[in-house]
Amino acid sequence: MEKRPSLFTAFFTIFRPGLILAVLLTTLLGLGIARQLAVPINISNAILGFVLVILLLESRAFLEAFYRHPTAPENRMAHNTKVDDPYLAAVEQFQRPALLYISIVILGAGAFLTTVMAVQGQLSPSVYLLLGVGFLLCFFSSVPPVELSERGYAEVVESLLVTLLAPALTLALQMRELHLLVILLSLPLTFVYLALRIVKSLETYGRDSLLKRQVMLLRIGWQKGMNLHNFSLIGSYLLTGIFALLLLPWSLTWPYLLSLPFAVFQIFQVQQIANGARPNWRLLNLAAAATFGVTAYSITLTLWIR
């Protein structure tokens, strides 16, 4: 068995600091769109929007941990002491009520920030709509009886929150309304991020299967999951091409192509696993992170320097 993690390590295992970097990239993307549209940048609003998205994601994470705690009556995971699972070990380090209290504190902080911004007149109908949708996605992703995460939709919900909600909320806080450009630039990125999450699930598939954790791949099967991974990446670039033919200028299209070599290599790696080759998880995870990171960074940098 693995050594039990410290409380500090357990907290950050549930917290997943890597999400902060992903949301930072997509927040900067939203700010880049505002700059592209000649909207004056309000730095304080940008920071508050970034913090609100992080608070939503982390409230979801700790609510999920609350309902997946081994003592939770709602927990449907198998208790298999022979399986070393860092996430489960982290959850077990907390008393179950503590996870709920942390979630309440995080949600309270988000509610406080939202109230302050509302009093200052910073919130528009678009912002209220986005915050409402984000809260509902996080709440119903974690809380029974809907509990989307236990129905195999955790990866989809996270992809929507990170790549669509974050830039859309950032833009709405700058110009008080939404613009079609946020969909044109963010939607292809959603599929790239979904492919990244599928890679993470592939690596833990055996462990998730033993624990009967209801992730997407266990719902649809690993073979279909690999196909979905490949189709997500291919669909992302096809979608970008369609947008380029219809509305998106070439100057905002070509940056997406910079990540294409990483995406091709990522698909090749997954296809090799499907054909029975021994997986190199470190290399595959690096390729998936590079595909998302290069895609998000390239388009964001283009928006800022163009």
In tens, the pLDDT along 254-280 reads 999 999 999 999 999 999 999 989 999
Examine the fold and report which residue of 178, 204, 223 is the final residue of a domain before the chain moves on: 178
Final residue in a domain of this structure, among 178, 203, 225: 178
169 and 189 share a domain? no
Query: Of the residues 120, 152, 178, which one is the last residue of a structural domain?
Result: 178
Q: What is the pLDDT of residue 1?
A: 46
Q: Say yes or no: 237 and 135 in one domain.
A: no
Query: Looking at this protein, which amino acid is placed at residue 183?
Result: I
> Does one domain contain both 189 and 212?
yes
Q: How many domains does the chain divide into?
A: 2
- If asked whether residues 143 and 209 sit together in one domain, one would say no
pLDDT at 81 over 90: no
What sign has the CA pseudo-torsion 287, 253, 171, 303? positive
Average pLDDT over residues 73-92: 72
Of 3-12, 99-108, 206-215, which has the strongest mean pLDDT? 99-108
What domain range includes position 247? Answer: 180-306
What average pLDDT does the chain have?
91
Q: Which segments of 176-221 does DSSP mark as H helices, in order?
A: 180-203, 205-211, 216-220
Angle made by CA atoms 110, 68, 78, in degrees to the nearest 5 = 165
The reply to whether 168 and 188 lie within a common domain is no
Q: Which residues does 223 contact at the CB level (< 8 Å), separation at least 6?
A: 274
Please name which of 205, 77, 84, 79 lies closest in space to residue 150, comparing C-alpha atoms. 77
**Angstrom distance (rounded) from CA 118 to CA 284:** 44
Structure-token pair, residue 187? 């939607």
Residue 2 has pLDDT above 70, yes or no: no
Residue 77 pLDDT more than 80? no
Contact between 201 and 208 under an 8 Å Cβ cutoff? The reply is yes
Residue 290 and residue 162 in one domain: no
pLDDT value for 273: 94
Mean pLDDT, residues 90-106 taken together: 94
| 146 band by pLDDT with thresholds 50, 70 and 90 | confident
**Calpha distance 151→267 (Å, rounded):** 26
* Single pTM value for the model: 0.94
